[in-house]
């Protein structure tokens, strides 16, 4: 793996970008950029497994990210006992009802394979179950949502360590992907793109409006962390000693005792933030490397060869006796699970879950730009794409500011056009993304790091 030139390109670009930002802006910014780059790299690898390995076009990334985010809430937040006693039974009963509906649909599907009106029958059951479900769950939902509406108003979670939720998010996503895949995967590529986009819209609507589950638009803040808090660090003996040791040359230049103490205090405060981000970076880097390792293994295994064969010629693979439908479903679940994992990571890093922030442009199409720009079918390409695209996404606003200032330097400060342009600086990132995508698709259609053709 280390000998691979793609590996070197990928990680040297990442190091250089981080160091450049660290030197020219600040280490805090550099590390938070690095962390989001790493999370983006995981998302891009998830999409790459579906699109690059198997040729499945999944525009539902946003939905799976939101499910991963929901998992952090369901796992790490302490439960709300009042809400459980008020409406827990109602929710459990409606959950059982939902299960019954699902099972009856499955049984009908299995027992009546050739019945002419089977599909209409299933459709009828589902349509009927929605108002019934609302009737059963409605009173408990309104009870739960009325308890401490300003601070809780939801059932809460399981109060487990948040790292655990990353795996739960992945499993939840795989389950949802199973259902979505069963329904949509038979469709042609462009229909699949549209229907997955719409499914992710449905998922976001549910997460946004089922307040008893996720607090919806009221957001969940103050989630747990897998790393220490800044405040705890600032009060711990070893951390202060560490900062003192690292900055001993800087500190020894200051002679006055009081000045030295206040400088040390400042350094402790600023480096506690950096330290926390560094801890996150190490965890995320480990995740990226582990997923990369397994992904590369899988790509080079007989299974990976079969996936590429299915992607390149479905008919031929079918003729060779490969179960295309099953493999498609499996890889769709696998990729979605990785996306869900990344979604949980993202929410953990942000420390808050805001369902209304999930928008297709940022959470679906940007990830797709990463994969397409980096190189489809190449894991390193996906990681590189995650880095480069996120770097451009973050840095295009300062860059646009610079360009505008150069071109309008002859204009007056209060000039209308200049003011207007300066106000719209944040939107230049969309322009950069669009132009970048169009240029790459035209001149390097296989991405920056194209797929390696493995000759056996």
Task: Using CB under 8 A, list all residues that contact another protein.
Answer: 57, 119, 123, 130-131, 134, 183-184, 187, 189-191, 193-195, 197-199, 201-202, 205-206, 208-209, 359-361, 365, 368-369, 372, 421, 423-424, 427-431, 433-435, 437-438, 441-442, 445
Nearer to another protein, 282 or 441 (CB): 441
Contact 65, 339 (CB under 8 A): yes
Contacts of 29 (CB under 8 A, 6+ apart): 21, 22
**399, burial (CB in 10 Å: exposed 0-12, middle 13-18, buried 19+):** middle
The encoded tokens of residue 337 equal 């699970």
SS3 353: strand
Three-state SS for 432? helix
Instruction: For another protein, give the closer residue by CB, 190 or 237.
Output: 190
Which residues are registered as beta bridge partners of 220? 353
The C-alpha atoms of residue 436 and residue 210 are separated, in whole angstroms, by: 38
C-alpha span between 401 and 422 (Å, rounded):
7
Residues 6+ apart with CB under 8 A from 253: none
Helix axes 27-48, 366-374, angle to 10 degrees: 80
- Is the Cβ of residue 9 or residue 432 nearer to another protein in the bound state? 432
CB of residue 441 to another protein, shortest distance in Å: 5
| Nearest distance, CB of residue 306 and another protein, angstroms | 21
Residues 251/260, Cβ–Cβ less than 8 Å: yes
Catalogue the long-range contacts made by 426-429 (C-beta closer than 8 Å, 24 or more residues apart): 426/397, 428/396, 428/397, 428/399, 428/400, 429/392, 429/393, 429/396, 429/397, 429/400
CB of 397 to another protein, least distance (A): 12
CA distance 338 to 347: 14
Rounded distance between C-alpha atoms, residue 381 and residue 450, angstroms: 7
Looking at beta carbons only, is 20 or 130 nearer to another protein?
130
CA distances to 266, 284, 285, 342 from 279, in Å: 20, 9, 10, 17
Closest separation between CB of residue 189 and another protein, Å?
A: 5
Closer by beta carbon to another protein, 19 or else 124: 124
From the CB of 41, what's the least distance to another protein, in Å? 20
Helices (H) and strands (E) in the chain, counts: 20, 0
Least separation in angstroms between CB 320 and another protein: 23
CB of 61 to another protein, least distance (A): 13
Closest CA to 355 of 187, 185, 213, 190: 213
Asked whether the beta carbons of 337 and 49 are under 8 A apart, the reply is no
Closer of 304 and 360 to another protein (Cβ): 360
Q: Which is nearer to another protein, 206 or 279 (CB)?
A: 206
Nearest distance, CB of residue 442 and another protein, angstroms = 7
């Amino acid at each position: 793996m280390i000998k691979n030139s793609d590996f070197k390109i990928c990680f040297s670009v990442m190091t250089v970008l981080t160091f450049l930002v660290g030197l020219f802006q600040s280490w805090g910014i550099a590390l938070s950029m690095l962390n989001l780059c790493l999370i983006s790299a995981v998302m891009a690898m998830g999409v790459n497994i579906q699109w690059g390995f198997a040729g499945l076009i999944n525009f539902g990334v946003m939905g799976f990210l939101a499910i991963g985010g929901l998992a952090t809430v369901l796992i790490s937040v302490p439960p709300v006992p009042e809400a459980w006693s008020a409406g827990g039974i109602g929710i459990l009963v409606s959950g059982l009802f939902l299960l019954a509906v699902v099972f009856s649909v499955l049984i009908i599907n299995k027992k009546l394979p050739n019945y002419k009106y089977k599909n209409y029958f299933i459709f009828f059951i589902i349509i009927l179950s929605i108002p019934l479900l609302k009737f059963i769950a409605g009173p408990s939902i309104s009870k739960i949502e009325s308890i401490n509406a300003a601070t809780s108003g939801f059932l809460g979670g399981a109060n487990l360590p948040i790292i655990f939720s990353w795996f739960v998010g992945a499993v939840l996503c795989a389950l949802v992907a199973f259902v979505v895949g069963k329904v949509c995967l038979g469709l042609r590529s462009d229909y699949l793109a549209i229907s997955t986009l719409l499914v992710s819209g449905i998922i976001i609507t549910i997460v946004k409006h089922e307040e008893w589950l996720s607090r919806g638009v009221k957001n969940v803040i103050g989630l747990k962390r897998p790393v220490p808090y800044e405040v705890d660090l600032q009060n711990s003996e070893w951390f202060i000693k560490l900062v003192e040791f690292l900055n001993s040359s800087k500190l020894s230049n200051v002679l006055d005792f009081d000045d030295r103490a206040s400088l040390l205090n400042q350094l402790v405060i600023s480096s506690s933030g950096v330290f926390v981000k560094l801890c996150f970076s190490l965890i995320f880097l480990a995740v990226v490397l582990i997923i990369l390792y397994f992904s590369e293994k899988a790509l080079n295994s007989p299974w990976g060869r079969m996936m590429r064969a299915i992607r390149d010629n479905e008919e031929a693979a079918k003729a060779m006796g490969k179960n295309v439908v099953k493999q498609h479903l499996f890889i769709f679940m696998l990729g979605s699970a990785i996306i869900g994992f990344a979604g949980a990571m993202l929410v953990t890093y942000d420390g808050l879950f805001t369902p209304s922030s999930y928008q297709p442009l940022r959470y679906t199409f940007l990830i797709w730009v990463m994969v397409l720009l980096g190189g489809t079918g190449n894991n390193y390409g996906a990681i590189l794409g995650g880095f480069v695209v996120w770097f451009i996404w973050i840095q295009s606003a300062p860059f646009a500011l610079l360009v505008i200032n150069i071109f309008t330097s002859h204009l007056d400060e209060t000039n209308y056009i200049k003011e207007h342009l300066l106000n719209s600086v944040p939107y230049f990132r969309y322009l950069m993304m669009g132009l970048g995508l169009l240029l790459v698709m035209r001149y390097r259609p296989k991405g920056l790091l194209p797929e390696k053709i493995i000759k056996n």
